[in-house]
Amino acid sequence: MNDDKARVPALSIEGEARRARMLDELLGAMRHRQDAAARRRRTAVIAAPCAAIAVAVIAIVNRPRDEGGAAPAVVAGQPDEPNPVTEAGREQPRVVVVHTDAVIMDRYRPQPRVRAEVIDDDGLIEALRESRREAGIIRVGDRTTLTRAVTDAELERAGSGPPAPALRPPA
């Protein structure tokens, strides 16, 4: 005889009811998983032939046709013989090799949008004053610096930001 049942203590009525609920819950979860696996298998069995049929239909629909609607006949011939299928009046693709030419490269080279203007010290001070970025010029040896930050990048690093654009009177 099996002595394992003798060692297990008897459950109360609530314990038996709880065990029955747990068993029902586990059986329901197991059925749900089995049903999901069966649905996946059925879907795979149906999807594979459907995909093959779809590929075949696309291949049939997209094959080349002549003006009459029928697929062109396969014509084998020597390379120097004209192909009757290509001479049916359809335009054939052309391949053109374009070589790089210095004139073309110069024509399509981007043009700089910067205008450089040579001015003297007085012209620089006047231009800075007109743009409301007044600064003085300091020369030490062969090095020239300005007394204040005047470029947008310098002003942003300093934390003051670029000043509002100067309003020029109409000429």
pLDDT digits (tens, 9 = 90+) for 85-141: 555 556 666 777 767 777 877 777 887 777 778 888 899 889 888 988 888 888 888
Rounded to 5°, the CA angle 71-73-78 comes to: 145
At 78, the pLDDT band (50, 70, 90 cuts) reads very low
Q: What is the pLDDT of residue 104?
A: 76
Residue 116, amino acid: A
Q: What is the pLDDT of residue 136?
A: 87
Burial of 5 (0-12, 13-18, 19+ CB in 10 A): exposed
Residue 3, amino acid: D
Please give the helix or strand (H or E) that residue 47 lies within, else none. helix 13-61
Strands 137-140 and 143-146: antiparallel
Q: Is the pTM of this model over 0.85?
A: no
Residues 6+ apart with CB under 8 A from 135: 125, 128, 146, 147, 148, 150
> b/e map of 69-106 (b: 16 or more CB within 10 Å)?
eeeeeeeeeeeeeeeeeeeeeeeeeeeeeeeeeeeeee
- Would you list the domain boundaries of the chain? 14-61, 120-162
Residue 51, amino acid: A
Is-contact 160 148, C-beta < 8 A? no
Mean pLDDT to the nearest integer, 60-69: 67
